[in-house]
Amino acid sequence: METQKPRVAIQGIRASFHEEAAFRFFGNDITTVECTSFKQTFEKLKAGEADYLVMAIENNIAGSILPNYNLLLSYNFPVVGEVYVPIQLHLMGLPGVAFEQITTVTSHPMAIRQCDDFFNDHPNLKVVESSDTAACAKRIRDEQLTDTVAIANNLAARIYDLQILERRIESNKKNFTRFLIMTTQENVQKTAADKASLCFEVRNEAGALFKVLEVFKEENINMSKIQSMPVLGKRDEYKFYVDVEWEAQGNYDRALRGILKFTHNFNILGEYKRYEEEESESR
């Protein structure tokens, strides 16, 4: 019996960075489910129209994507993996278009911000923001625009038959985005995890968060990220989203038992294998 390709919901269209992240995690043999928003990816998963979703959560230059943390908690789908994608941005247009013909550059606002040096060198170019890097590339192909170029990735240039006029125009060459992989509880496959995403609240008093951090330290748990978000409707109260990593499962188990006495509204958002670049590149 032929195994059905995993259906993976992404924000954006084919050749977006979200699809690139999906390929890196699952391999190329997937069915991409295009969505117009992050919320729609969750709705597709909820409705059974996707098996997984891929969601950007942070960029090492632009920082955390804060609204996505609220989606994590409100839908409560388990995180089953992560993937880091190098963000390499290229200037692309229709084949045969010369740089001198260009008047307009279009891309996602975050991609535009990551190319400040390029725009400082070319102040005459008009900048038009759009919702998706790949959609900008597709529009140039569909509308045969000769005065407009897009900033997008290699995948977009290949799929939409565009010529790359300038490569790697991002200002910081060590630019990457972290993506989370989520699925339904029914789809979760038990694996040997060494990383977890947690969410909790602590008392609004001196030293409350320190007590949690002290437990992690005692159990040799590495806290790779901490992100605070206000609790809606409650002044001066915050949820803490924390990513932790461990070498020995026993340390993690003891740490969870230890922090429960210092936290409330505690949630394990997911337990999974931390991203290993060498494994991903060999897929």
CA angle in degrees (0–180, nearest 5) for 212-216-221: 155
Other Cβ atoms closer than 10 A to 118: 19
- The structure's pTM equals 0.90
- pLDDT tens for 91-102 read 999 999 999 999
Structure tokens at 6: 């995993």
**Domains in the chain, ordered, with CATH?**
7-86+175-186 (3.40.190.10), 90-166 (3.40.190.10), 195-272 (3.30.70.260)
Q: Is the dihedral of CA 43, 275, 178, 150 positive or negative?
A: negative
Report pLDDT digits (tens) over 216-263: 999 999 999 999 999 888 888 899 999 999 999 999 999 999 999 999
Q: Hey, is 32 helix, strand or coil?
A: strand
Q: Is 142 exposed, middle or buried (0-12, 13-18, 19+ CB in 10 A)?
A: exposed
pLDDT, tens only, 159-211 = 999 999 999 999 999 999 999 999 999 999 888 999 999 999 999 899 999 99
